[in-house]
Amino acid sequence: MAQYHLYSADISPFAQRVVLQLDHKGIAFTHEHPPGGFGSAEYGLINPIQKLPVLRVDGVNLPESEVICEYLEQVHPEPALFPEDPMARAKVRLIARIIDLYIMNPMMPLFKNLSRATRDQAVVDHALASIKAGLGHLNHWIEPGRHATGGQTTLADFAAAPVLRYAFQYPPVFGFKDPFADLPNVAAYYAACRENANVDGALSRIEAGWDAMRQAAR
């Protein structure tokens, strides 16, 4: 049996994607924060990309959440998180791609502009417009209920839920009130996520992680 060790952080939606999959499949793993912290030479030896998560599998370090999730799905195919039907499988990948490229990526500049004193409003405005467009794209494809697509739990759910937690919380800080307004599918899906104990646990870990960081910064 392979030994799994996850380098992660509670605040990382990409790390929570992997944690959700591991928990869903009942796979045992250990975890820790990046040794030496983000950007450290020590963590650079583990992952020169300097991002989270990294899954260490029997001494081999595997970065990138999407790559990790597909690896785990191949090694631990049950319970399946990809549908058998090719089109249904493609929709799972499509939702994950929309989440990564059109919602989370444009959200990243917001975290560097939280301080009003140093905020670049042009960067913020561009980010908010991109996030709004991305959420609109997602609303077209995601299903309004407990599952993102296909009526079953898939990797699309584990990609979408943690990022939507960020999309719900952070754009309003910059004046984008109620990001899910006029997006009935996204709003219904996110509400259902909060009623799912396993998924809500991941969202709560994100919230607790940010609370801990704010406390430490005081």
95 in any annotated domain: yes
Same domain, 119 and 15: no
CA-based diameter of the chain, in Å?
A: 52
* Burial track 109-135 (b if 16+ CB lie within 10 A, e otherwise): ebeebeeeeeeeeeebeebbebbbebb
CATH number of the domain at 142, please.
1.20.1050.10
The confidence score (pLDDT) of residue 209 equals 80
Picking from 75, 104, 133, the residue at the C-terminal end of a domain is 75
Structural tokens at position 184: 């009935």
Same domain, 100 and 180: yes
Same domain, 112 and 178: yes
Range of the domain at 64: 4-75
80 in any annotated domain: no
pTM for the structure as a whole = 0.94
Same domain, 34 and 105: no
Same domain, 57 and 91: no
The confidence score (pLDDT) of residue 194 equals 93
The answer to whether 52 and 7 are in contact (CB under 8 A) is yes
Give the CA count within 13 Å in the CB-facing half-sphere of 163: 28
The stretch 53-59 carries a mean pLDDT of 97
The confidence score (pLDDT) of residue 210 equals 78
Number of separate domains in the chain: 2
CATH number of the domain at 48, please.
3.40.30.10
Same domain, 94 and 129: yes
Picking from 52, 75, 98, the residue at the C-terminal end of a domain is 75
The stretch 2-26 carries a mean pLDDT of 96
The confidence score (pLDDT) of residue 120 equals 97
The confidence score (pLDDT) of residue 29 equals 98
Picking from 75, 100, 133, the residue at the C-terminal end of a domain is 75
**Banded pLDDT at 216 (limits 50, 70, 90):** low
Same domain, 46 and 128: no
Structural tokens at position 57: 């599998």
Give the whole-number percent of the chain exceeding pLDDT 90: 89
Same domain, 28 and 132: no
The confidence score (pLDDT) of residue 186 equals 98
Give the whole-number percent of the chain exceeding pLDDT 70: 97
26 in any annotated domain: yes
C-alpha Rg value of the chain to the nearest Å? 17
Same domain, 71 and 112: no
Q: What is the mean pLDDT of the chain?
A: 95
Same domain, 15 and 57: yes
Q: 213 pLDDT exceeds 80? A: no
Q: 212 pLDDT exceeds 80? A: no
The stretch 165-190 carries a mean pLDDT of 95
pLDDT in tens, 82-124: 999 999 999 999 999 999 999 999 999 999 998 899 999 999 9
Q: 66 pLDDT exceeds 60? A: yes
The stretch 27-48 carries a mean pLDDT of 96
Q: What is each CA distance from 88 to 3, 83, 133, in whole angstroms?
A: 31, 6, 24
99 in any annotated domain: yes
The stretch 119-146 carries a mean pLDDT of 97
33 in any annotated domain: yes
Same domain, 195 and 162: yes
The separation between the first and the last C-alpha atoms of the chain, rounded to the nearest angstrom, is 44
213 in any annotated domain: yes
